[in-house]
Amino acid sequence: MTRRANILHADLDAFYASVEQLLDPSLRGRPIAVGGSVVLAASYEARAFGVHGAMPGWRAKRLCPELIFVGGHFAEYQRLGDLVIDVFYDFTPLVERVSIDEAFLDVSGAVHLFGEPAQIAEQIRARVRGELGLPISVGVASTKHLAKIASQVAKPDGLVVDPEHELEFLAPLPVGLMWGIGPVAQRKLADRGVSTIGELAAGSPDALQGVLGRAIGTKLFHLAANDDARQVEQGRRAASMGAQSAFRRQVPTPEMMRGVLGHLADRVASRLRAKQRAGRTVTVRVRFAHLRSVTRSRTMPGPISSTLTLVEVAERLVHSALDDHPNEPEVTLFAISVSNLVDEPTLQMELAVESDDPCRPGSTTGTARWAIDRSMDAIRHKFGRDALGYVSVAMSEFDTVPDEFRELAERDG
């Protein structure tokens, strides 16, 4: 049975920078960066000079002396991103939003109304450009994996991949375009003579598992052969929630750790509570100066969503990772994620005879933290996120990215 290219991956081009150029026409065609001390996003004109997200502002300015920094209009990013999603729903109800500026669409049931998938993609691009003034790329293919690659390869125009020539299309492309392959994995594969997706597909799955790990290696081997059975999921709920912070080389002092992990825990826990969810498993990731990363996890006796409890658990896990690597004096990234999520609209209190362990959300301390956090959430909702916060987070000098930007980038499904 011949597969049809019914899956679209729509991705707004240089979204944050494009919004800034839309709001201020004098910025159009000029190299701009959203941010200041750190580049949060860069326009295509700035990217041509090598400027990219997460780059220090001084370095970006050195690469592009004409670079213009803008502060960012976060409410506009959210508003326009939502309007783009509304356009998608005009064509199909099968929309899976995966971030503030991208989504998958299944248009198999819409062809009798709007034409072939390629025509639908062109109509979407025309409407988003004409009605909202934003550029968008749309990849069209028979699988989610290939549609996403197609939208990236031909940016800013998008691309339609003929289902009969999918493997020929994939074969010469660099492995870095694939999900899950970052710079470290690229180097590991390059050391073994693998630089293209075709070479990855032609290799041994056992060898790939040996390089990248069993789970990721198996998944990437199948994706390289365009073996991707995932469907577009409506109303998909996140299986985990997380946040990370990358920085220049730092010695992980107690003050530095509490500042960074406090920011991360505050972001993750507040997002959990906003969705009335909690999770039992906490995972941290530590990246050392030479790009080696390690993870540590702990499963709690009950699901947690308290900021302070998450900070304490994360600190213990990070200390464990550091103690196991005494020859790594500097770190460049911390990450926290919470998984094994459950709904938590209310809290079940425990009997006083139980241990007063804050990791048990129904304990005396756990209950107090639960109540304090929700009171803080209510105040922030009314007066803004900066109206109230934990001292260790608010006074930290180790976070330079606005929380509004992080919340958009970390939007959950």
41, two tokens: 């996003």
Cα distance between residue 84 and residue 86, in whole Å: 5
- Residue pair 135/11 in contact (Cβ under 8 Å)? The answer is no
Pairing of strands 95-99, 136-141: unpaired
DSSP for residue 235 = T
Phi-psi region of 296 (alpha: psi -120 to 50; beta: other; left: phi over 0): beta
Round to whole Å and give the CA distance between 160 and 141: 6
Question: Which residue is catalytic, options 20, 102, 166, 407?
Answer: 102
Q: Residue 92 carries which DSSP code?
A: -
Residue 102 among the catalytic residues? yes
**What are the structure tokens assigned to 73, written together?**
């209009």
For 382, residues 6+ apart whose C-beta sits below 8 A from its C-beta are none
Q: Judge whether 177 and 157 are in contact, CB under 8 Å.
A: no
Rg (CA), the chain: 23
Active site residues: 102
